[in-house]
Chain A
Amino acid sequence: MKYYAQTRGEIGDYSKLPFRQKYALQDLLYIAYGLLIVALVLVSYVLGMFDLLPHDPLQINMSMLMAPPVSGGYLLGTDFMGRDILTRLIMGIQAYFLPGLLAVFISLSGGVLLGVLCGYRCGRTETIITYFTNLVDSFPRLVLILLVIAAFKPDIYYIMAVMGITAIPAVATAIANKIRFLAQKNYIEAAIALGLKTHVIILKHILWYNCRALLIIQATLGMGEAILLETSLSYLGFGVQEPVPSWGNMVQSGANYFLQGNFWPSTAPALAILFTILGFNLLGDGLNNILEDGRGK
């Protein structure tokens, strides 16, 4: 049943309508949640960096194995070796935070370079760029990384560099499309006609004014992917090694206990992964809907 009532536009009533919320509630919620997660990650990273932890992540407490959350001073319980889960979760962020930033940095800078090159000077560069995009897309990322691991050492920074490189085409295409869009609207022509210097046009007008939303969105989504990749790799045993905690290896070492019915040691890190990646993805999507798609009410 739908109900429609006319409450305005009465005969002769030409009063201005009050300001209605511009943005869809859903997108704002997404962004709020995402920002919350980002804040938590940042805070945890700092805490981990300065060792401001509730317990020692490596300290074994044989008297309290697999304690449930909120018992004996362990806020999230302990794992199968009596180590505090909360501390280990916080420390786990160290494993992906900087590498993830590296990946994002590489993908954005490479993407911007390539995208501006392609967008600004189209033509033949375009076929080459498309070829490279398709080339990079032909590899399942994990397989490529395993290849790199086989060739070099399983250093997370190498790996994140590779991830950053594989993400370049996506960023580049997005930027190139944006530039093409602007060119279509004669934005660039106008800037040139005004006598602006090329580097000013590119840096200030194109990138800063028009692409910054795009870049922020790519950064958040890229960070989400980096986290997924790092946790998958450390699950497979290629990241930080036990006993140093990483969310992936925490799930892996708790696996056997999981199958025996002790869910928590594996589930806690898995939930951390879930909510964190969800946060980054929702942040990216929410920002995208509001800033790029113009979907607001």
Chain B
Amino acid sequence: MLQSVAVTFQVYMTLQPLKAIGNTLLKELVLAVLLLLGVSMVVFAILYTAPGDQFNILLEGLQPSEEARARVRDALGVPQAWYGQYFSWLLNVLSGNFGTSVRSGLPVAGELLNVSLNTLYLTLGSMFVTLLIAIPIALHSSVRGYSVTINWPLTMFGYLISAIPVFWMGYIAIYISIHGFAFFPLASLSQTPGENSWIYTLVPVLVLGLGSGSISEVIRSLREEMSRVMAEDYIRTARAKGASVWRHAFKEGFLIPVTGIIASKIPFILGGAVIVEQVFNWPGMGRMAWQAAQDRDFPVIMGIALIAAAFVRMGSLLQRLVYVAVNPQHSRD
């Protein structure tokens, strides 16, 4: 009898953190949805206040064919009230209909899908590069103690890198690839057949990783947090125990700060992607957004704004999940 109680209790205890994660997941999803709704309102508001008969252009784009459009216009008339317009647009978006591009006449949703994957690759890759550079620097100075001779140049390096305009950095990279390694990272993905064409895709990732300005932030944040954790009592106990200090410092000093910083830097990286895609002619969301801004192609740019915001919220959600999964105190909320 006692055994089964003990076992049940065991199971209950192991499931506790999962319950906490589940709770947070729910809470954060609701929050994310609310925020995305807000985002859609802002996007729509900008559209609405724009000069010109924008909504009608948008609405026309939402209907699949000319006859359908004419029918809608006759039958329903264009909803006059702004909230009517907003909701009809929103409902369309939620059902996957982002409208039709003013420039190309193609449905936006399809184009966006392809393009956003390319940008996702760029974003994740550059995040990886940023972390690859920033983490060793931050850890070195916090774990080994601050030694001015090594750290000051590295910190300055971080500052300098973050101030270099990323577009110029891109040209340098292109120049080096052309003259140093004899390949053209400019060509669009579909136009570079042959082996090792994936190498071409590394250059923009590298450039964005270096130039998005996140390096110095990551270094500073991580170093501060890690140094603070290293001075904690429980690390002293771990040392006295002969245990691996890293294992104990990892959660609070590394995992949480890094996920936090990354989640907060996603908007900046996406912004940098717009520029990098321009430099390298990379067929991503950023370049599409630029094109749309030039052509005043609303459906496209609105869709991109929504997707970008969705990326950001997802990143934030993941970060919160990690935080709760790791942090036992908060499971009591």
Contact = CB atoms under 8 A, between A and B. Distances in A.
B49 A140 contact: no
B305 A144 contact: yes
Contact of B35 (A26, A131, A141, A231): A131
A139 B308 contact: yes
Nearest to B45: A151
A152 B51 contact: yes
Interface residues of A, dominant DSSP:
helix
Interface residues of A, number: 43
Contact of B159 (A137, A152, A278): A278
B223 interface: no
B198 interface: no
A149 B267 contact: no
A17 interface: no
A236 B290 CA distance: 8
A177 interface: no
A100 to B, nearest CB: 16
B270 A143 contact: yes
Interface string B263-283: 010111011001100100000
A141 B294 contact: no
A277 B163 CA distance: 6
Interface stretch (A103-111, A178-186, A267-275): A267-275
A154 B296 CA distance: 11
A146 B292 contact: yes
Contact of B54 (A26, A151, A267, A273): A151
Contacts of A231: 165
Task: Output the residue of B49, B54, B267, B286 with the most chain A CB within 10 A.
Answer: B267
A26 B38 CA distance: 43
Contacts of A274: 160, 163-165
Contacts, number: 137
B301 interface: yes
Contacts of B293: 146-147, 149-150, 154, 238
A16 B3 CA distance: 71
B268 A140 contact: yes
Contact of A143 (B49, B54, B304): B304
B309 interface: yes
A235 B279 CA distance: 10
A218 interface: no
Contacts of A135: 35, 38-39, 42
B286 to A, nearest CB: 8
Contact of A139 (B290, B302, B305): B305
A274 B164 CA distance: 5
A251 interface: yes
B168 interface: yes
B305 A143 contact: yes
A142 B277 CA distance: 13
A109 B268 CA distance: 24
Task: Output the residue of A26, A151, A154, A235 with the most chain B CB within 10 A.
Answer: A151
B171 A258 contact: yes
A142 to B, nearest CB: 4
A146 B309 contact: no
Nearest to A280: B163
A78 interface: no
B152 interface: yes
Given A138-B313, A147-B305, A266 B47 contact: no
Task: Output the residue of B43, B270, B286, B289 with the most chain A CB within 10 A.
Answer: B289
B298 A151 contact: yes
B155 to A, nearest CB: 9
A148 interface: yes
B167 interface: yes
A282 B289 contact: no
Interface of B: 31, 34-36, 38-39, 42-43, 46-47, 49-51, 54, 152, 159-160, 162-168, 171, 174-175, 178, 213, 264, 266-268, 270-271, 274-275, 278, 286, 289-290, 292-298, 301-302, 304-305, 308-309, 312-313, 316
Kindly list the 7 A-B residue pairs having the minimum CB-CB distance in the complex, ordered from nearest: A151-B50, A270-B168, A142-B271, A140-B270, A278-B163, A146-B293, A140-B271
Given A235-B167, A258-B175, A282-B159, 4 more contacts: A232-B275, A235-B275, A259-B178, A278-B160
15 contacts: A131-B34, A137-B264, A139-B39, A140-B270, A143-B270, A143-B274, A146-B292, A232-B165, A236-B274, A258-B171, A266-B168, A273-B165, A274-B160, A281-B159, A281-B163
